[in-house]
A and B are shown apart, each in its own frame.
Chain A
């Protein structure tokens, strides 16, 4: 017992002070890309050719990027001869509408707005989520899972992962939805009592991600169910996921933070 207490003392209190302050993010983190307008040489397609998932296309006003497809590998940034594309360390990436993930110079990312009306009243202070893993690589699950640990302590925001869909207010889905998981995803969704939300975490759940060309999958949860929140990344940083969840609940707006 004394050893446990000593360890407790040594390990200390490590829950991150977020959202009061932002935790340190790695220097090489690839977050929100910044796209510069009017600097692309005529006919240059370097970024388009470098992208393994066709997430980026040149246009007269500059590169147009679909963050729902983007794997944040940074190859476009590496190959761009003019430095037009630059991945910043801005972790905030979550949006409500799939269409909002289309960005180009002059169009800022429209970060997720809060739920409204009845849903906000019901879920704003207590959101129970059933996490469904549907055919990805288990990478997003790693960073979804980590939010439940002491460092992030998701529970302090009233958000909790629950074991049964019957206890849930919505589903949080990772993976492109493989053909073999389609029925299970539908059944899980149907088992959640309404009103309910659907949250797509990661490029796979939004668009099929690196597997988007595979016939064995359905190209994301949006092909089956209405999606209320899209959190891009491959996988998204835990802070990106948490930021998205808190925005959906209106918790960042109301507290005027970050």
Chain B
């Protein structure tokens, strides 16, 4: 990587914008392509209304984030997607948000059907040129936006030959509520709420990323004890969602014991979060500078006891899966993603680790308590439904270990008086704040203007990277295996749609 093209920083570090090299657009894109070819990962590529461009290239081995920027003179440039598939959705997003045309993009379609996009003309969600396979026996299956079940809306088009899926195209945007734009001009009283509702099931993951960005830009440190409590919050969120996912996977292969048990146990995990902060999703638990609700020793003790009990139930319910031949048979035969393709398209989180990619923000770009209290990264090799289930199972055990240690520590450590914090943000600065949500890497890129207000707030939910992975997993599968494959990813629609 050409070091002169980048500012090399770390997760949750504020940097003066002037320190980030301002490149010529052509050099900017060449630097991205070269860095990705050398093994860096394109964690974020975004633009703003002034046609400024920003790129974040993660080196997960070295724990660094390389930042570059540029400014276009006119809203067009030569697309890098043909040489760098990781850029494919980012380029489409910049085109939709700011009318910046990536010339030569092979797949330039709407991302979210933004009604208030640059064109100003009304758009109809789901109306676009879908990829079609032609042939006498080929047929098309269209599903959504309203699905059977309590699920978020999205549209799926399958190109099928008999039962075999040749291609799946996923068209989202139904949940688009304009959150990135709403954050511009902040922080204001609703900003934290916007972060928590990027994806409600990742309230802590996104809320923490928001808090961490503000803390970095305001130049304040958060006491290690409070960071430990945040770790408890994040791992409880992971426990609830992984438990729910494994139960739902069991349900999708008709294995009812685990499905029934886990449905209930997921609620038990959510109740532990509610015990700590009053909300089952952890709403308002965190705040910039610290916590709204602390875990006093007595509460930590009660929580630790309940954690042990709920973990016993969880383990008992999930271990049944690995002894059931019918379950393993179905899990192992479905939804394989090729590890080479997984790297090429930039998968993150559980689906990436299920392809053997060693990647976890908690380990690679440690934040909060994770530098001093590391967690092991769970991995599997086959990239199929079983691998994704297995990674979740391993992560449950590891998160539980973290919880027990952290809660035991908090039991012995009463809260200290926290000084009031001045949250004035540094002007003309940039911060990339990442957390490892239960789905994977949550990234917030925050840029301030001359008066320290947000001039751009970019959010990359792990689902943004991973929806294309689901499409790849479906190739060559049967239509009837879609629910199982879909559940094994369990991606967020609202986190993608923002």
State the A residues within 8 Å of B (CB).
Answer: 3-4, 7-8, 10-11, 14, 26-30, 50-53, 71-75, 131-146, 148-151, 161, 163-165, 175-176, 178-181, 183-184, 188, 209-211, 213-217, 234-235, 237-238
Contacts and interface: CB of A to CB of B under 8 A. Distances in A.
A216 B176 contact: yes
Contacts of B270: 142, 146
A211 to B, nearest CB: 5
Contact of B200 (A3, A138, A151): A138
Interface stretch (B142-150, B161-169, B353-361): B142-150
Interface in B445-498: 492-494
A138 B293 contact: no
B104 interface: no
Interface string B145-181: 1101111110000000000000000000111111100
14 contacts: A4-B320, A27-B275, A30-B278, A73-B284, A132-B146, A142-B201, A148-B150, A163-B149, A183-B125, A210-B193, A217-B178, A234-B283, A235-B200, A235-B281
Contact of B257 (A8, A164, A209): A8
Given A11-B313, A180-B176, A139 B197 contact: yes
B341 interface: no
Contacts of A10: 313, 316
Nearest to A132: B146
Using C-beta atoms within 8 Å of the partner chain, give the interface range for chain B. Answer: 35 or more
Interface stretch (B261-269, B342-350, B394-402, B411-419): B261-269
B260 interface: yes
B203 interface: yes
**Chain B interface mostly helix, strand, loop or mixed?**
loop
B194 A149 contact: no
Given A210-B197, A216-B116, A237-B280, 17 more contacts: A3-B320, A14-B264, A28-B277, A28-B278, A137-B198, A137-B200, A138-B200, A139-B200, A139-B203, A145-B150, A178-B174, A178-B177, A179-B115, A180-B174, A210-B190, A215-B116, A216-B178
B277 A73 contact: no
B390 interface: no
B293 A184 contact: no
A161 B149 contact: yes
Contacts of A51: 189
B120 interface: no
A74 B278 contact: yes
A33 to B, nearest CB: 13
Which of B150, B182, B276, B493 has the most CB atoms of chain A within a 10 A radius of its CB? B150
Contacts of A161: 149-150
Contact of B152 (A133, A149, A216, A217): A133
B148 A164 contact: yes
Contact of A181 (B145, B261, B271): B145
Contacts of A175: 175
Residue of B177, B196, B280, B292 ringed by the most chain A CB atoms within 10 A: B177
B125 to A, nearest CB: 4
Nearest to B154: A133
A211 B153 contact: no
A181 B316 contact: no
A52 B186 CA distance: 13
Nearest to A27: B275
A7 B322 CA distance: 14
A136 B175 contact: yes
B317 interface: yes
A120 to B, nearest CB: 26
B152 A28 contact: no
Interface string B239-262: 000000000000000000100110
A164 B150 CA distance: 12
